[in-house]
């Protein structure tokens, strides 16, 4: 909020990535595990904190010391900051599916220019039918439906939190047709994009803000 990350590459944890990018548009947010950009350094947390620490030690004191510390800590491979975060989509306590994680990551990273379901399946290394089965099993929706809801959720956040025009948001969320955007948005939220923005502005002026919208975004279903 103080502007200290404006025009810097910055990393935040995947859970707050969506909200952070909408709120701080001047920051260059990446999905890597950590970033060292000039005199700013940020980390996504968790295990990445150790990789970040070792990278800083290697930078300031040499790779040999960093490797000795990694050996002492029992770390087999030191990850570079260029590695991307993995979304730990947990379906039940202790249960995860890496292919589903990868598909969700691809969707979140390709909002403006959406990928086809076949493309996503190819990129994560499974067939389209396998991908659809995973989405039905863990999310109760087909990939295309989930992807659409993800894009509409981002559009809603931009309508509420930015001054971008409806046309700009339409394009930024991967809708090539204004009519398609309007119809899909109304089907999902019960109001048009312009009504959404007007209602949000009226709530702000009246001092009434819907807390869930101002906080973390709920994953679309």
Q: Enter the tokens of residue 48.
A: 């990445």
What does the domain layout of the chain look like in residue ranges? 9-72, 88-221
Torsion over CA of 15, 117, 189 and 172, rounded to 10 degrees?
Answer: 70
Distances (CA, A) of 144 to 107, 138, 139, 147, 160: 10, 15, 12, 5, 25
Per-residue pLDDT at 219 exceeds 70: no
Per-residue confidence (pLDDT) for residue 182, from 0 to 100: 95
Separation of alpha carbons 35 and 11, rounded Å: 6
pLDDT, tens only, 21-65 = 778 888 888 878 888 888 898 888 888 888 889 888 988 888 888
CB 78 within 8 A of CB 51: yes
- Domain at 88-221: CATH code: 1.10.10.60
Per-residue confidence (pLDDT) for residue 19, from 0 to 100: 76
Helix (H) or strand (E) holding 100: helix 98-109
Per-residue pLDDT at 91 exceeds 50: no
pLDDT, tens only, 158-178 = 888 788 899 999 999 999 899
Q: How many CB atoms lie within 10 A of CB 9?
A: 17
> For the chain, what is the mean pLDDT?
81
pLDDT, tens only, 107-145 = 988 999 999 999 999 999 999 999 999 998 888 889 999
Per-residue confidence (pLDDT) for residue 86, from 0 to 100: 63
Q: Enter the tokens of residue 52.
A: 């970040």
Percent of the chain with pLDDT over 90: 29
Beta strands in the chain (DSSP E): 9-11, 28-30, 34-37, 40-43, 90-92, 95-96
143-161 and 98-109 helices cross at what angle (nearest 10)? 40
Per-residue pLDDT at 96 exceeds 70: no
């Amino acid at each position: 909020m103080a502007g200290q990350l404006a025009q810097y590459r910055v990393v935040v944890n995947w859970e707050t990535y969506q909200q952070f990018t909408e709120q701080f548009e001047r920051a260059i947010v990446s999905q890597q595990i950590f970033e060292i950009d000039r005199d700013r350094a940020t980390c996504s947390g968790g295990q990445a904190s150790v990789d970040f620490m070792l990278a800083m030690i290697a930078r300031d004191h040499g790779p040999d010391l960093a490797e000795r510390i990694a050996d002492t800590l029992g770390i087999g491979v030191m990850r570079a900051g260029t590695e991307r975060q993995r979304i730990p989509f947990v379906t039940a306590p202790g249960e995860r599916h890496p292919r589903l994680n990868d598909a969700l990551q691809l969707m979140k990273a390709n909002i403006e220019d959406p990928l086809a379901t076949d493309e996503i399946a190819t990129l994560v290394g499974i067939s389209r039918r396998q991908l659809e089965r995973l989405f039905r099993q863990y999310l109760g929706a087909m990939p295309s439906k989930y992807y659409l809801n993800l894009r509409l959720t981002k559009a809603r956040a931009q309508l509420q939190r930015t001054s971008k025009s409806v046309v700009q948001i339409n394009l930024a969320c991967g809708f090539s047709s204004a009519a398609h955007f309007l119809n899909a948005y109304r089907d999902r939220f019960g109001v048009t994009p312009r009504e959404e923005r007007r209602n949000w502005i009226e709530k702000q002026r009246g001092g009434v803000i819907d807390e869930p919208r101002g906080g973390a975004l709920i994953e679309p279903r």
